[in-house]
Amino acid sequence: MGVHRSGFRPLLLNEFVRYACDTLEANGAVPRGEEEWIPEPGDLRIPLVRGDVCDLKMGYLEGAVDLLAGGPPCQPFSLGGIAKGDEDKRNMFPEMFRAIREIKPKAFICENVRGLLRPSFRPYFDYITRELMFPFEERDPEASWLQHDAILKAKEERGDPRSAERYQVFAFPVNAADYGVPQIRNRVIIVGFRGDLDIDVNLLKQATKPTHSEKALHRSMVSGEYWDRHNGVKLRPRVPKHVERRVMDGLASPLPFEADRGELKPWRTLRDALAGDQDTVPLREVPWDWLDRVQHEGMLKEHIGWPDARIYPGHTPNVLDRPAKTVKAGVHGVPGGESVMLTDTREGTGRSSTYRHRYMTVRETARVMTFPDDWELCGPRGEQMRQLGNAVPVLLAKVFAKAVAAVLDDVENRS
């Protein structure tokens, strides 16, 4: 959706998970079928192939694709040995390399967890980037990744950087909150451009600079602008003074006001997401007696209260006046405290008072992932939450896809 909203026209979707495929079809995708076809300009159909990407042939798209976008799963790797058997079979980066070989796109985007940049994984991450640089240098089935990496290193040193069979690769460690997503989500986004394109690297870097900051959020709270804004939202309750005092007491002091004054917007908080903006309406508060798994009249679809929320050590809840915690897929949907939020409702008095908590609804979680309210999610609640946890926030994807579009447009205008 982020790529589509940045101006690209989808030519093919592939997804493995059944409920995720159902969701894509519910939002406009159509089964491609066995026949290989490419939608013409003006054709609003978005072809979807259900199933394992390992079985998907993509060569028919060669020459037609500007941008290949994907989030190949990369499960933990053992670096204790060098045999190829040490690699997790669920690693789908080899399929990303194959897709690039078959399609030969002008550019690509990959998204993955920030953990790939940890020292223990860094050697394999560097290998991934070199594979993306040289996707046409296929790995011998009998070779370990370390053996293949040695070949790629030698090619990097002597190869022609302007070759059409080589890509310029850029890795961006990002926090989604720095781009206006109401969620702390640390990821690495890898962007590549075909070597024969004369790209403007500075344009790419400028187009992917952060737009929001925590410091700006703190300033808006201290100035009162944040609280005034939320106390004027229709359909949402006013922020109690005791909540405002608690939040302000918890701010870092002294606040570093000068570092980015006037340059960046405030981080968006969970409260901001629920209150909506120019594109979304405020989400109604879920009454406490509606934590009953029922879709009540007057509530947006999937804005359904769920009972029995718990918080416990290691699973602390979301708070309203910070970006939400990372939405995770988990084994059975979003796990533990990641899907629980503290509310403004206080129980008790004085030092013994506590704040009530509840599960976030599917629709609230979708807001945190910056999906629009009309995006339909299929399957039971746990599967809907899993889809959201596995997704890329729409707004974050849009920022990087728009940056790629700007770079490609610049190349075309100068050619």
Is the pLDDT at 172 greater than 90, yes or no?
Answer: yes
Is the pLDDT at 86 greater than 70, yes or no?
Answer: no
- Of 245-259, 316-330, 363-377, 390-404, the least confident: 245-259
Is the pLDDT at 335 greater than 60, yes or no?
Answer: no
Residues facing 191 on adjacent strands: 109, 170
Direct distance between the N- and C-terminal alpha carbons of the chain, in angstroms, rounded to an integer:
29
186 secondary structure, DSSP code:
E
The reported pLDDT for the residue numbered 363 is: 97
Band (205; pLDDT cuts 50, 70, 90)? very high
Cα dihedral 236/241/245/251 (nearest 10): 20
- Cβ count near 84 (within 10 Å): 16
| Mean of pLDDT values over 372-385 | 95
- Cβ count near 331 (within 10 Å): 8
Q: Output phi, psi for 69, to 5 deg.
A: -120, 135
- CA–CA distance, 146 with 125 (Å, rounded to integer): 12
The reported pLDDT for the residue numbered 82 is: 40
The reported pLDDT for the residue numbered 92 is: 85
Contacting residues for 406 by C-beta, under 8 A, at least 6 apart: 203, 204, 207
SS3 39: coil
The reported pLDDT for the residue numbered 362 is: 97
Reported as a single tens digit per residue, the pLDDT across 104-151 is: 999 999 998 887 788 878 888 899 999 999 999 999 989 988 999 999
- 10 Å CB burial of residue 334 (0-12, 13-18, 19+) is buried
Q: Residues 383, 372: contact at Cβ < 8 Å?
A: no
| Mean of pLDDT values over 14-32 | 97
Alpha helices in 66-158 (DSSP H): 93-103, 122-133, 145-158
Reported as a single tens digit per residue, the pLDDT across 299-312 is: 999 999 999 998 88
Which CATH number applies to 2-209+394-414: 3.40.50.150, 3.40.50.720, 3.60.150.10, 1.10.10.10? 3.40.50.150
Maximum mean pLDDT: which of 78-92, 277-291, 344-358? 277-291
The reported pLDDT for the residue numbered 204 is: 98
Q: ω into residue 254 within 30 of 0, thus cis?
A: yes
Strands (E), 161-303: 167-175, 186-194, 212-213, 265-266
Maximum mean pLDDT: which of 80-84, 290-294, 331-335, 353-357? 290-294
User: From the candidates 54, 74, 110, 378, which is the catalytic residue?
Assistant: 74
Q: Residues 359, 287: contact at Cβ < 8 Å?
A: no
Domain boundary assignment for the chain: 2-209+394-414
% of residues, the chain, pLDDT over 90: 74
- CA–CA distance, 308 with 294 (Å, rounded to integer): 14
- 10 Å CB burial of residue 53 (0-12, 13-18, 19+) is middle
* pLDDT, averaged across the chain: 90
Residue type, 10: P
- 74 in active site: yes
pTM comes to: 0.92
